[in-house]
Amino acid sequence: MPTEPTSRFLRACYRLKTDTTPVWFMRQAGRYMPEYQAIRSQHKSILEMIARPQVAAEITLQPVDILGVDAAILFADILLPLPPMGLKLEFVAGRGPVIHNPVRSPDDVAALRPVDVAADLGHVFEAIRLVRAELDGRDIPLIGFAGAPFTLAAYMIEGGPSRNFLETKKLMYGQPEAWHALMQKLTPVLIDYLLAQVDAGAQALQLFDSWVGVLNPQDYRRFVQPYVRQILHTLMAQAEVPIIHFGVGATTLLREMKAAGGHVMGLDWRVPLDEGWALLGHEVAVQGNLDPTALFAPLPELERQVRDVLTRAAGRPGHIFNLGHGILQHTPVENVRAVVDMVHEFIWK
């Protein structure tokens, strides 16, 4: 922490007192929002929207104005570093991301190209600069992000979403040299990419290890933790921004993930916030952890669940309210806005 920040969100990242609990939502810019749909309908693909800094910046800012959240997160995708490495990525309607040339062998790993982030991903940094210019004077920090190496490797190997992650684990267990070579290729790309986001103006970073919950702690320690540690420790040494480290279904990995680094640990909705925080220790901040499906509930039930999360945080500095995973398609926008108000108006008796 360079100088003591003033915004609620950054203060909570460093476990400093705030006037009220800060709140933002994973995937707060997206399909559930009519203003996003209006822009989406003018473009052929999500990748095209992300590639245009003006468009990405506009979408990034939508939830700040419409929802009243305490932080913005760049509109981008965790898979952006993959095409420069040589992977043919396409977002297929109704199916999600597909990689047409998945990585399955040591030769596939060897063929991956190094990434020059400034040249290959310059549009991301330009979008960050545009958002920061728009947010000038508003004390709403901008969060940059990347996928963690396990989750990116799993996408690269499976070629898309997977149920059992069998190909990933076959490579891990059966060709560990190829697995480690893949992680060693991803690690510097992610360090460069995240440092360049900070250079462009990102005021916090989130590392999304969305799929890491399919591993047990033994495999996490063997196959993943050294690389996450290298990324997070490099960032913590070289960038003066807080880092949020998040996994889904990863309760049994929380201690190992915390040991790998981060100022803030993201909790999914499966673990009660007080239990998750106690498991981690109170020397880290936590982010979470409303069930995203609760946003479809009638307001009294939704409020009950929001208050449950806040009550479990017990007014301790270092809680950032969020969902336990991203906002789902068709989520009612008015309920998301209502949660922002509930969080901001919650009073400790």
Positions annotated as catalytic residues are 27, 31, 40, 77, 155
| Nearest-angstrom CA–CA distance, 46 and 91 | 7
- CB of 133 or CB of 166, closer to a copy of itself: 166
Other CB atoms within 10 Å distance of the CB of residue 32: 19
Q: What DSSP string runs through 261-323?
A: --SEEE--TTS-HHHHHHHH-TTSEEEEEE-GGGGGS-HHHHHHHHHHHHHHHTT-S-EEEEE
- CB of 138 or CB of 170, closer to a copy of itself: 170
- CB of 173 or CB of 348, closer to a copy of itself: 173
Provide the minimum distance between the beta carbon of 248 and a copy of itself in the complex, in angstroms, as a whole number.
10
- CB of 201 or CB of 324, closer to a copy of itself: 324
One-letter amino acid identity for 11? R
Where on the phi/psi map is residue 314: left (φ > 0), alpha (ψ -120 to 50), or beta? Answer: left
Token pair 């559930």 in the structure block, residue: 32
Provide the minimum distance between the beta carbon of 304 and a copy of itself in the complex, in angstroms, as a whole number.
9
Provide the minimum distance between the beta carbon of 271 and a copy of itself in the complex, in angstroms, as a whole number.
5
| Nearest-angstrom CA–CA distance, 282 and 277 | 6
One-letter amino acid identity for 266? G
- CB of 106 or CB of 249, closer to a copy of itself: 249
Other CB atoms within 10 Å distance of the CB of residue 339: 24
Provide the minimum distance between the beta carbon of 228 and a copy of itself in the complex, in angstroms, as a whole number.
18
Q: Please give the residue ranges that form the binding site for a copy of itself (CB under 8 A).
A: 164-166, 169-170, 173-174, 213-219, 249, 251-252, 269-272, 275, 291-294, 296-298, 301-302, 308, 328
* Contact residues for 279 (Cβ-Cβ < 8 A; gap 6+): 251, 254, 255, 271
Provide the minimum distance between the beta carbon of 165 and a copy of itself in the complex, in angstroms, as a whole number.
7
| Nearest-angstrom CA–CA distance, 14 and 158 | 37
Token pair 């990525």 in the structure block, residue: 89
